[in-house]
Amino acid sequence: MFSEATAGFVRQIDRDGGLISVSRLNDSHKLVPAALVVKRKRFWFWQRPKYQPSDFTLSELLLGDVLLSPVVSEEDFVGYQGTFGDIKSATLNAKAGVLSVNLEGRGTSKLQLSFGKLKKQQVDVKELLQDSSARLLNMQHGLVQQVQKRDEVLAILKERVFTTSPCSITGTHKEQAACGGVLSLVSKLGNTVEVCVKDHNTVEVDCDVSLEIPAATVIAYSLLEMEIKKDGHYELCLQPGTLGGFEHDSGTSSPSNDPCACVVDGFSWSEKILEKAPLSALNNELQELESYLQPLAGLPHPTRCTLFQRLMEVLRDRVDLSLLENTLEEWCRARSLDVTEPPALSEGLSSSAWAFLDLFQIGNGVCGTPAHLTAAHLLVSAMEELSDETLNLLSKCCPDILDAINELICQLRGSCNPLSMESVPVPLQDGDASLLSERLLESSNITLRREMDRMWAETGDQPSVLPLVFCLTVRGLSYLLNEQQ
């Protein structure tokens, strides 16, 4: 709940700025002025970096005995409270022989939080530069050695936002499920008579959790990345968009590509995903990325069915989806760096996420085929990038509808010419299914255009990576549904 609350705060206060939400309450005490934070680059170009606060400050990593005491200013920030929630429902009609079972579920969740009056502390960067201008970084320090080996980036904490009084976060979750059975009797004339053989049963589950947050808890912060030379000299990246890193043998100090990253060479989504561009403009990039997904189609049919079911369960919970992505990334990184010690598994994984990982033999110190692991990580990380609305709509799609949406996307992106309305997959010609597919595309920044009997798709008004990751998600799920693609 803490990570959801802080992420919601940053989205409301500083959506496109430099604030980073604190994901773990246990990291708060590490986030002091001029603290060192490790920035980890990710596998796929659309993924935001991960930040791991360290146990050290800049002063503790500088050579020399003089302690560095940064000048810090403090001011009132904002008062903040909010309520967030959603309503989810699902219906299943299953029939086996003469027995028909109807299941209906409905759930509501609500997150209430009040951070009260917040304060902000900010390091005086000019004073920091002046006091540390003649100092060198200890390149033999364990933290520096580990960060450099993993090709990560060191950054210092520039400002932080924290609570001034105890506050609380309350999560409420309610579920209601109903079950009924119907026996279908077929007469000799072929007529069907339905007879109820089981009373309608309802199960309700209520869950209320409250988390008390102490005063002086850091909920967000911003950083200045460090550009570090091989001899220990360093500079702070003062301009927005300037990236830090370690100097390499080539003499450059800009961050190199992550050795384990699988990205499209030279592809920059900010350049290629334009406003109101035809979906076909992304086809080449999609084809190259889909090559990493292809191994999923070669898995045994029962395995693919189970993977699909578990993913459809996981995507209903944003936190669970993030934990699953984190575990898959750690295993991919460990494999690429030849790490012998198995990575620690993320705490709090649901039974569905565990079942998903078990199919790749993750959890017992070994792991399955690297290509399958990379494919699973690509699919899950593409899903994680989607909006809450898109994930909610995806959870309502049955396999036939998902398969039809994949077919429609392949047709729309495969040609620069408009698509004939007659070519729209049959399952999507139904009113409800057609509306669902259109809402899915719109939630992913893809707009369907119609003119007479023709249809085409284009990206929305604001450039974003959503069209690409949505197409990858649908394609990956479709690989799990079909024998051949």
Q: What is the pTM of this model?
A: 0.68
Q: Which percentage of the chain shows pLDDT scores above 90?
A: 38
In 3D space, the residue among 83, 84, 74, 77 whose CA is nearest the CA of residue 13 turns out to be: 77
Q: Are 385 and 469 contacting, i.e. CB atoms less than 8 angstroms apart?
A: yes
In 3D space, the residue among 358, 348, 350, 250 whose CA is nearest the CA of residue 303 turns out to be: 358
- Of 106-115, 214-223, 410-419, the poorest mean pLDDT is in 106-115
Backbone angles phi and psi of 206, in degrees to 5 = -115, 140
**Cα–Cα distance measured from residue 409 to residue 404, given in angstroms and rounded to the nearest whole number:** 9
Q: What is the mean pLDDT of residues 15-26?
A: 86
Residue type, 233: H
- In the chain, the largest separation of any two C-alpha atoms, in whole Å, equals 97
Cα–Cα separations (whole angstroms), residue 433 to 139, 313, 393, 428, 439: 59, 21, 11, 5, 10
Ordered DSSP codes for 268-318: -HHHHS-TT-BGGGGHHHHHHHHHHHGGGGGS-HHHHHHHHHHHHHHTT-H
Radius of gyration of the chain (CA): 26
What's the pLDDT band for 93 if we cut at 50, 70, 90? very low
Both tokens assigned to 155: 């950054």
The H-or-E segment that residue 224 falls in is strand 218-228
**Cα–Cα distance measured from residue 413 to residue 289, given in angstroms and rounded to the nearest whole number:** 14
pLDDT of residue 192: 33
pLDDT tens per residue across span 268-314: 444 445 567 888 888 888 899 999 999 999 999 999 999 999 999 99
**Cα–Cα distance measured from residue 19 to residue 27, given in angstroms and rounded to the nearest whole number:** 16
Q: What HEC string does 68-86 produce?
A: CCCCEEEEEEEEEEEEEEE
